[in-house]
Amino acid sequence: MKTADADAAPTTDQSKPASRTDIADARRAPQPWTWVTALLAGVLLAQLGTMMVRNPNFEWDVVARHLFDTRILHGLLVTCYLTVLAMAIGVIFGGVLAAFRITANPVLRAFAAGYIWVFRGTPQLVQLIFWFNIALLMPKIGIGIPFGPVFWEADANAVITPFFAAVVGLGLHEAAYQAEIYRAGLLAVDEGQTDAARSIGMKPMTIFVKIRLPQAMRFIVPPTFSQIIGMTKATSLVSVIGGAELLFSAQEIFSDTFQTIPLLIVACIWYLVLTTVLNFFQYFIEAYYAKGATRAVPTNAGTWIARRVSRLRSRGPERTEANPQ
């Protein structure tokens, strides 16, 4: 510490007038606290590492054996499907709800508000179980004219598989959240933008699609990625209604072998892989919508890789505001 402080003290070199000093040769100011925290972190990591290696209950050999187990990989695939389909419903139907909320039509506005109230106000898990058991409420499901003839009808128990209930349940719940994300994003766009667009005679739909939505995307993309990551993990709830996703597959194995901890670690590793891949894509999408804006994308494992990839691709300095393309 002492030496670092002495080093930090500015040297007043009288022989060289200040105006002649070339700052290109400047050293960085010493940062002693970085070294102190690095040391502390090193010690803690070493301890954690030793514990993980020494403690036999981790059963790393079992982890390694099951990481690419076909049942686990099948569960991983189901998790991916569930995430993609439920998010697709959430993103699209959420967009419809958000559009309803800002239309001039009071009926649509009320519908959207009521929907969001119910679906955001009750637990995801309860909704999942509810959809899975919808047959108790409506034994038959059909398509037809309200109070009129029915064109197609089926037994609810046959149609509502765990997978179907999971996609519908997670998707409809997600739509309520997405609608709010869109709304917040649209609110974040300066009203002057709408004024300007209206002043040149743009129609409401054009203003929404070309002016407000693209600018709102900057505020919509980060929370939406949080939601996708949340959804990846929320699919594990589907194990409760017997959907054969990642956690369910791990449970199936450890209920036979009682190797609970190693199989949960296997599941966690795959969840981490999925979320890291998502962070990786988030980096590029955020960079795309940051056009014309001055901002930075935060760092985590996924964005760290993405940043290096994009630097390799452009073979130049990191993409900055000055050269957005």
Partner 1 sequence: MSDLPLLSIRDLHKRYGTTEVLRGISLDVARGETVAVLGASGSGKSTMLRCVNHLERPDSGSISLGGELVGFTTTRRGPRMLTETEIARQRSRTGMVFQNFNLFPHWTVLRNVTEGPVRVRGLDRSEARELGLRLLATVGLEERASSYPKHLSGGQQQRVSIARALAMDPELLLFDEPTSALDPANVGEVTSVMKRLADGGSTMIVVTHEIGFARAAATRVVVIADGLVVEDGPTQQVLDAPRSPVTQTFLENTLYGARTTGANER
Candidate list 199, 256, 258, 323; residue touching partner 1; CB under 8 A: 199
Question: How many residues does the structure list for the chain?
Answer: 325
Close Cβ partners of 112 (under 8 Å, ≥ 6 residues apart): 97, 98, 100, 101, 179
Which is closer to partner 1, CB of 122 or CB of 206? 206
Q: By CB under 8 A, tell whether 106 contacts partner 1.
A: no
Q: By CB under 8 A, tell whether 202 contacts partner 1.
A: yes
Q: By CB under 8 A, tell whether 200 contacts partner 1.
A: yes
CA–CA gap between residue 321 and residue 325 (Å, rounded): 9
CA–CA gap between residue 205 and residue 212 (Å, rounded): 10
Q: By CB under 8 A, tell whether 15 contacts partner 1.
A: no
Q: By CB under 8 A, tell whether 291 contacts partner 1.
A: yes
Taking the complex as a whole, the smallest distance from the CB of residue 233 to partner 1 amounts, in Å, to 32
Three-state SS across 278-315?
Answer: HHHHHHHHHHHHCCCCCCCCCCCHHHHHHHHHHHHHHC
Which is closer to partner 1, CB of 189 or CB of 234? 189
Close Cβ partners of 229 (under 8 Å, ≥ 6 residues apart): 275, 278, 279
Which is closer to partner 1, CB of 187 or CB of 272? 187
Taking the complex as a whole, the smallest distance from the CB of residue 284 to partner 1 amounts, in Å, to 17
| Cβ-based neighbour number of residue 30 at 10 Å | 14
Which is closer to partner 1, CB of 153 or CB of 190? 190
CA–CA gap between residue 81 and residue 171 (Å, rounded): 12
- Interface with partner 1 in residues 207-226 (CB under 8 A): 210-211, 214-215
Which is closer to partner 1, CB of 215 or CB of 279? 215
Residue 235 near residue 165 (C-beta atoms within 8 A): no
Residue ranges that bind partner 1, judged by CB under 8 A: 190, 192-193, 195-204, 206, 210-211, 214-215, 291-294, 321, 324
